[in-house]
Amino acid sequence: MIDNKITIAVTKGDRIVRQQLELLAKIGIETLEDPGSSRKLVLETTWPGVNVLLLRSSDVATYVEHGIADMGMAGKDVLLEHGEEGYYQPLDLGLGKCRIMVAGLRDEPPLPARLKIATKFVNTAKRYYAEQGVQVDIIKLYGAMELAPLTGLAHRIVDIVETGNTLKANGLVPMEHITDISTRLIVNKTSMKMKYAEVQQIIAALDAVVAEHT
């Protein structure tokens, strides 16, 4: 039982919400309603005082940064895009493991010196090419990145690669590894101080469950 109320933001989206809620269930925090059948976005749990918010992955960090959620679970890819200054990141939850990579056509024609790069990870791509000292033009897309080199919109893409099947199916190959991705636990900076006991209890419990599975 806990003294302070705790709000945990998780990432809405079929597979990932299941995995995140399963992790919480393993430490005894089970939602009273199944997000699969309920349309509710705030779910009460078996721990009185602990609520779960279902958010778009890109909004989890915003809610945690502003202290509306005390803790959250979000992919490193969206955290990198959001900026990582406004919250603590105490735990790698080991879910949703994949990579952000540069990919291009398997049979790539000669390319110009200044490449066009299509991505939804604009900040990550900008940072990567700046570190390489390479000037590129970034084209922001929201999905189906693989189409960009195929149609001539861009020369290469910066995107998530998990199995590599999507690249392969579209005649693309992974070329440069930018960073490894997985789901992280993030914590509001004030909650870490003001709700220290509760937050630490949850971190320690999640840590133990994650350690068992990795």
162 binds ligand PRP (CB under 6 A): yes
CB contact at 8 A, 69 and 53: yes
Strand order in the sheet with 71-75: 42-44, 50-55, 6-11, 71-75, 183-187, 88-92
Per CB under 6 A, the list member of 166, 179, 182, 201 interacting with ligand PRP is 166
Q: Which stretch binds ligand PRP (CB under 6 A): 4-12, 49-57, 153-161, 197-205?
A: 153-161
Q: Please, what is the Cα angle at 25 between 54 and 16, to 5 degrees?
A: 45
* Nearest distance in Å: CB 211, ligand PRP: 26
DSSP 125-186: HHHHHHHHT--EEEEE-SS-TTHHHHHTS-SEEEEEESSSHHHHHTTEEEEEEEEEE-EEEE
Q: Which stretch binds ligand PRP (CB under 6 A): 34-42, 82-90, 122-130, 156-164?
A: 156-164
* Nearest distance in Å: CB 38, ligand PRP: 23
H or E element in which residue 54 lies:
strand 50-55
Per CB under 6 A, the list member of 27, 68, 147, 160 interacting with ligand PRP is 160
The Cα–Cα gap between 205 and 101 comes to 33
Smaller CB distance to ligand PRP: residue 37 or 165?
165
Smaller CB distance to ligand PRP: residue 99 or 127?
99
CB contact at 8 A, 157 and 166: no
176 binds ligand PRP (CB under 6 A): no
Helix (H/G/I), strand (E/B), else coil: 57: helix
Per CB under 6 A, the list member of 21, 24, 93, 161 interacting with ligand PRP is 161
Q: Which two tokens stand for residue 85?
A: 């200054």
CB contact at 8 A, 101 and 179: no
Per CB under 6 A, the list member of 85, 165, 211, 212 interacting with ligand PRP is 165
Per CB under 6 A, the list member of 164, 173, 182, 203 interacting with ligand PRP is 164
CB atoms within 10 A of CB 37: 7
Q: Which stretch binds ligand PRP (CB under 6 A): 21-29, 31-39, 162-170, 183-191?
A: 162-170
Q: Mask of contacts with ligand PRP, 125-144, x by CB under 6 A?
A: ------------------x-
Summarize as ranges the residues that interact with ligand PRP (CB under 6 A). Answer: 143, 145, 159-166
